[in-house]
A and B are shown apart, each in its own frame.
Chain A
Amino acid sequence: MTAPAAAAAPADEPRLSREHMLDLLKQMIRIRRFEDKCYELYTQEKIRGFMHLYDGEEAIAVGIIPVLDKRDRIVATYREHGQALVRGVPMTTIMAEMYGKQEGCSRGRGGSMHLFDRATNFYGGNAIVGGGLPLSIGLALADHMRRNDIVTACFFGEGAVAEGEFHESMNLAALWELPVLFVCENNLYAMGTALTISESETDIERKAACYRIASEAVDGMDVIAVEAAARRAVHSVRDTGKPYFLECRTYRLRAHSMFDAQLYRDRAEVETWRQKGPIARLLDRMQTNQVLDPEDGSRIDAEVDAEIAEAVAFAEAGTWEPVEQLTRFTYAESAIPADR
């Protein structure tokens, strides 16, 4: 292939080279198949607790996170396997964390909902809806005060928009001109409560205007569109130092967690959305553009399967933290803080 066409195109334009689209496709399949494996392991009771799958929403993490720089920061929710994987947290340590093994990315202390990785500036894994928003404000405030050219991307669902912490954080970010990229993953349901019965204004993007925050809504099932929007958004934050609000309209194709009978929605509704799923969507596009080779699918599957097999083997071989260490990590064990 020739060099990606996007190299010379304006940075915010979609990048449509075959290699780039294959990369996006692989990243989404990687998340999907990793979580398929997690589901299987959950039924085998290898993974326990709450586990929230990202099926249907992969285009958001895949479209946004690679646009960020290594130095940028990410705050995510309890539905964060996708974000962690795309960010480059090793699949091995994520899987070990799901098992609760001490080789996990949070030493096994966090589990599925609390993936942390300082090396990639991945600040969790917050399981209080809206709880990560003020944290992102603080990370960005520190960067603002030290004149660091760093963007903090904060992921949250539309359910968080009903929380006071959302509004406090939006106001603080705008008031103090902090470099935060707010990413609202609007999947239409806060657990089982539909957006239409939880918000007086269901056009989430409009809420940003109250705080004078630049904003955009994008089809969150279209990874190409998400990526283009993310470029505009990240450039805006970097250029202005001010926040930006990106609403990604998406759908959660699986249950909220592993304990959800989905009484609140019809199977037909889910099926309709599945047809519009981000992986199918990109495959369609690539086929239409005739950039998908017959062997691409099997090659990606083989690569992803190998990575997953390695991750499972790593987690299986992982060790349980001795119970004698139970009370560790409540307070620092040395006087030297983690980050200066």
Chain B
Amino acid sequence: MQQATVQSTTIETTYREAVREAIRDAIKRDKRVFLMGEDVGRYGGCYAVTKGLLVELGPEKIRDTPLSESGFTGAGIGAAIAGMRPIVELMTVNFSLLALDQILNTAATVRHMSGNQCGVPLVIRMATGAGRQLAAQHSHSLEGWYAHIAGIKVLAPATLEDARGMLWTALEDPDPVLIFENVMLYNMIGKLAGDAGPVDIDKAAVRRPGRDVSLITYGGSLWKTLDAATALAAEGIEAEVVDLRSLRPLDDATIMTSVAKTRRAVIVDEGWRSGSLAAEVGMRIVEQAFYSLDAPIGRVCSEEVPIPYPKHLEEAAIPQTPKIIAAAKAALGRL
């Protein structure tokens, strides 16, 4: 997964460019792969992820669709069953609800209902998360909902390596895979190995080792959590940061190993608290590592409100570094 060895060459790139390169690479590598979605071609993608790809790869491979989320998601499912490897782009997770029937009632069920005769090797990408003042119909984090669905896999790439590497592995998977790209990560700049390639899509990663408390998170919250860990370190608290990477399946082993070591856990999740993925992770810890715990499990989630437009309210609605620091200290009894 993560490249442990030092690469001979590294390039400076952005998360957006890493996703774009992953798409370009996949389409060039496998003639069955194509991308379709709203404004992916001439417009260059709502978040400019696919900018330039239409000219380079042509309209068959970069297929603009009408505003028919259910229609073209279902078309992706049918094409996948018939042997293609489609990538469907849904502009945001909020719009994906218009395709929920196809995702849940068809993509997730067909293998089972058909007695294993029809698999759906489809990848659906979409943007998720708040932070751009896009208000209550463009800012939610519903990946935890999707992680509830048996029959699909759910990924949340938070790093450049994962943005670059998860797509190809997802395309090779014989089942539907949903990839959630947090909108606040697209502009993130960093170094990526020049030969960065496919990564695993079923393991969590320890992004920062520590002994005092496990901070378990994913997606856009990873970087806030790492900031929190840095701040905590300045106060002598060594937090371990676990990046879930895959929300379904969850990598219980990595989570429990971390909790067994630190004996304390705080889960950071941009979804709403009630019925959240954080609740699922917390309950698994209770089920599997209860006797390792020295303190109640903490959660930092979004407030129970649709995402508001004003900057200060939007920031207050979702997990932020100070809240994560406070929750970690609470777990350690250091308020």
What residues of chain A lie closer than 8 Å to B102, measured between beta carbons? 131, 134
Collect the chain B residues with CB atoms within 8 Å of residue A165's CB: 70-71, 74, 101
Chain A 137-165 interface mask (CB, 8 Å, partner B; 1/0):
11111110110000000000000000011
Q: A128-B101, A332-B174 are in contact. Are A134 and B111 (CB under 8 A)?
A: no
A330 touches B115 (CB 8 A): no
Check if A135 sits within 8 Å of B175, measured CB to CB. no
**Chain A residues with Cβ under 8 A from B60's Cβ?**
145
A118 touching B79 in the complex, CB below 8 Å, given contacts A145-B84, A172-B66 = no
In contact, A110 and B115 (Cβ under 8 angstroms) = yes
Chain A, range 311-340, C-beta contacts under 8 Å to B: 328-340
**A330 near B81: Cβ-Cβ < 8 Å:** no
Q: Across the interface, do B117 and A134 meet the contact criterion of CB distance under 8 Å? A: no
Instruction: Return the chain A residue nearest B117 by Cβ.
Output: A118
Please tell me if the beta carbons of A331 and B175 are within 8 angstroms of each other in the complex. Answer: yes
Assembly CA distance A134 to B98 (angstroms)? 13
Q: Which A residues touch B150, using CB under 8 A? A: 330
Please give, as numbers and ranges, the residues of chain A lying within 8 Å of B72 by CB-CB distance: 134, 168, 172
Interface residues as binary, B98-127 with A (CB distance below 8 Å gives 1, 0 otherwise): 000110011000111111111101000000
The B-contacting residues of A in range 168-199, CB under 8 angstroms, are 168-169, 171-172, 175
Residues of B within 8 A of A133 (CB): 71, 74
Q: Is residue A124 within 8 Å, beta carbon to beta carbon, of the partner chain?
A: yes
Q: Is the CB of B78 within 8 A of A137?
A: yes
B326 at the interface (CB under 8 A from A): no
CA–CA, A329 and B120, complex, Å: 12
**Residue A278 CB within 8 A of the other chain:** no
A245 at the interface (CB under 8 A from B): no
Contact present for A168 and B66 (CB under 8 Å) = yes
Chain A residue nearest to B82 (CB atoms) is: A142
Docked Cα-Cα span, A134 to B72, in Å, equals 7
Are A107 and B115 touching (Cβ within 8 A)? yes
Interface check A63, CB cutoff 8 A: no
B41 contacts A by Cβ under 8 Å = no
B68 in contact (CB, < 8 A): yes
* B151 cross-chain contacts in A, Cβ below 8 A: 330-331
User: Do residues A329 and B111 form an inter-chain contact, with CB atoms below 8 A?
Assistant: yes
Q: Which of B34, B75, B76, B79 has the most CB of A within 10 A?
A: B75
Is B112 touching A338 in the complex (CB atoms < 8 A)?
no
User: Is residue B179 contacting chain A, with contact meaning CB distance below 8 A?
Assistant: no
Q: Known interface pairs A141-B75, A141-B79. Does A131 touch B105 (Cβ–Cβ under 8 Å)?
A: yes
Q: In the assembled complex, which residues on chain B have CB atoms less than 8 Å from the CB atom of A126?
A: 106
Which of B66, B80, B112 has the most CB atoms of chain A within a 10 A radius of its CB? B112
Give the CA-CA distance A334 to B174 in the complex, in Å: 8
- Please, how many residues of chain A have a CB less than 8 angstroms from a CB on the other chain? 51
Compute how far the CA of A334 lies from the CA of B175 in the bound complex, rounded to whole angstroms. 11
Asked whether, in the complex, the Cβ of A332 is within 8 Å of the Cβ of B78, the reply is no
On whether the beta carbons of B112 and A139 are closer than 8 Å, the reply is: no
CB closest chain-B residue, reference A165:
B70
Say yes or no for B92: interface residue by CB 8 A criterion. Answer: no
A106 adjacent to B83 (CB under 8 Å): no
- From B66, B113, B119, contact of A114 by CB (8 A): B113
Interface: B172 (CB within 8 A): yes
Chain A: minimal CB distance from B30 (Å):
11
User: Which residues of A lie under 8 Å from residue B262 when comparing CB positions?
Assistant: none
B117 A106 Cβ-Cβ under 8 A: yes
A104 touches B115 (CB 8 A): yes
Q: Is the beta-carbon distance between B66 and A138 smaller than 8 angstroms?
A: no
CA distance A337 to B34 in the complex (A): 17
Mark out the residues of chain B between 232 and 278 whose CB falls within 8 Å of any chain A CB in the assembled complex.
none
Given A128-B105, A145-B34, A139–B79 Cβ distance below 8 Å?
yes
Picked from A125, A142, A171, the residue with its CB within 8 Å of the CB of B79 is A142
Contacts of A137 in B (CB 8 A): 71, 74-75, 78
A172 touches B68 (CB 8 A): yes
Contacts A109-B115, A171-B71, A172-B75 given: A337-B121 contact, CB under 8 Å? Answer: yes
Chain B residues with Cβ under 8 A from A333's Cβ? 116
Bound CA span A208–B49, Å: 36
The answer to whether B77 has its CB under 8 Å from any CB of chain A is yes
Question: Contact: B78 with A131, CB < 8 Å?
Answer: no
> Is B225 positioned at the interface, with any CB of A under 8 Å from its CB?
no
Give the residue among A108, A138, A171 with the most B Cβ atoms within 10 A. Answer: A138
**A334 vs B114: C-alpha distance in the bound complex, in angstroms?**
16
Task: Kindly report which residue of chain A lies nearest to residue B104, judged by CB atoms.
Answer: A128
Closest to B88 in A: A138
Q: A134 to B106, alpha carbons, bound, how many Å? A: 10
- Other-chain residue from A116, A128, A138, A175 in contact with B78 (beta carbon distance below 8 A): A138
**Pair B82/A116 contact, Cβ less than 8 Å:** no
B73 is an interface residue with CB less than 8 A from chain A:
yes
**Closest chain A CB from B318 CB (angstroms):** 32
Shortest 7 CB-CB distances between A and B: which pairs?
A138-B78, A134-B74, A168-B71, A107-B115, A142-B82, A116-B114, A168-B68
Known pairs A116-B113, A125-B114, A143-B82. 4 more at Cβ < 8 A? Answer: A128-B101, A134-B73, A172-B71, A332-B111
Complex A-B: 19 CB contacts under 8 Å = A110-B114, A114-B113, A116-B113, A124-B113, A133-B71, A134-B77, A138-B75, A140-B78, A141-B84, A142-B78, A142-B82, A146-B84, A172-B66, A330-B150, A330-B151, A331-B174, A332-B119, A337-B121, A338-B174
